[in-house]
């Protein structure tokens, strides 16, 4: 029997997370665990059918809730049936449009929880399952808007702050766990609810490009920041 590759993807209800689940579950030998906060209302996700020899499961996970994050581990373990987790894909995110001297404080705190603290806690609680996996990989979905060295100067102030912090999380996780591969990846500007209709890429193009980066990862890539839309180019922090 062929070896399977196991994936846990957050924010799988729509946008890039949904497309990632669609592509992975179309490939044999993938076991895909699609996590979303409201599985019952995620109709596009529920409509997906995995190809033969692939498996697709849905797990409830609201990344704004510590209880939900911790409770998800037992659900995922049930699905994995003793197998390890190969890829933890921290994709869920939010992006309020604001400016640095005029933002909503409560919204900023929730943003930091969703975009930074949740991926950090997910890394912590899923580390034992990643240890049991073969690939031992964490993908933190970031953005070039979090790259100080790129400085796109857009009006997404608190979002940019959150993605810069997420990049530091990647760096710290990689340093702390040399046996893991941890990267930040920017999906490019993509036509989703977040990216808007004017964006440059279709979700399918971004996910193909992200998977090219992710499936080619080797230990020496850990702790780095890549642009999927620029052919896997390494980005400046």
Residues 202-221 contacting ligand NAP, CB under 6 A? none
Q: Does 13 bind ligand NAP (CB under 6 A)?
A: yes
| Nearest CB to ligand NAP, comparing residues 28 and 236 | 236
- Looking from the CA of 159 toward its CB, the CA atoms found within 13 Å total 20
Is 186 among the residues that bind ligand NAP (CB under 6 A)? Answer: yes
Task: Decide: is 45 part of the binding site for ligand NAP (CB under 6 A).
Answer: no
Among residues 58, 91, 156, 158, the one that binds ligand NAP under rule CB under 6 A: 91
Nearest Cα to 88, choosing from 7, 171, 182? 7
Could you say which DSSP state residue 235 is in? P
Which member of 189, 209, 224, 228 binds ligand NAP (CB under 6 A)?
Answer: 189
Size of the site for ligand NAP (CB under 6 A): 31
> Shortest Cβ distance from residue 7 to ligand NAP (Å)?
15
- Tell me, letter by letter, the H, E, C secondary structure of 28-62: CCEEEEEEECCHHHCHHHHCCCCCCCCEEEEEECC
Q: Out of 7, 8, 15, 235, which residue is the one contacting ligand NAP (CB under 6 A)?
A: 15
Under the binding rule (CB under 6 A), the answer on residue 133 touching ligand NAP is no
């Amino acid at each position: 029997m062929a070896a399977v590759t196991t994936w846990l993807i957050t924010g799988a209800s729509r946008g890039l997370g949904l497309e990632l689940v669609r592509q992975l579950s179309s490939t044999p030998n993938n076991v895909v665990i699609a996590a979303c906060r409201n599985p019952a209302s995620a109709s596009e996700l529920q409509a997906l059918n995995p190809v033969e020899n692939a498996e697709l499961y849905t797990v409830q996970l609201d990344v704004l809730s510590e209880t939900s994050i911790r409770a998800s581990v037992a659900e995922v373990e049930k699905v994995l049936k003793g197998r390890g987790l190969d890829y933890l894909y921290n994709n869920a995110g939010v992006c309020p449009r604001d400016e640095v001297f005029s933002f909503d404080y409560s919204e900023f705190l929730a943003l930091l929880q969703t975009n930074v603290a949740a991926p950090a806690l997910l890394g912590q609680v899923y580390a034992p399952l990643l240890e049991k996996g073969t690939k031992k990989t964490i993908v933190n979905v970031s953005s070039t808007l979090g790259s100080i060295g790129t400085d796109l100067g857009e009006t997404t102030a608190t979002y940019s702050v959150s993605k810069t912090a997420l990049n530091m999380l990647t760096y710290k996780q990689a340093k702390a766990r040399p046996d893991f591969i941890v990267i930040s990846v920017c999906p490019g500007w993509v036509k989703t609810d977040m990216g808007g209709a004017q964006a440059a890429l279709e979700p399918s193009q971004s996910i193909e490009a992200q998977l090219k980066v992710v499936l080619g990862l080797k230990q020496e890539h850990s702790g780095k920041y890549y642009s999927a839309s620029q052919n896997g180019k390494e980005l400046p922090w």
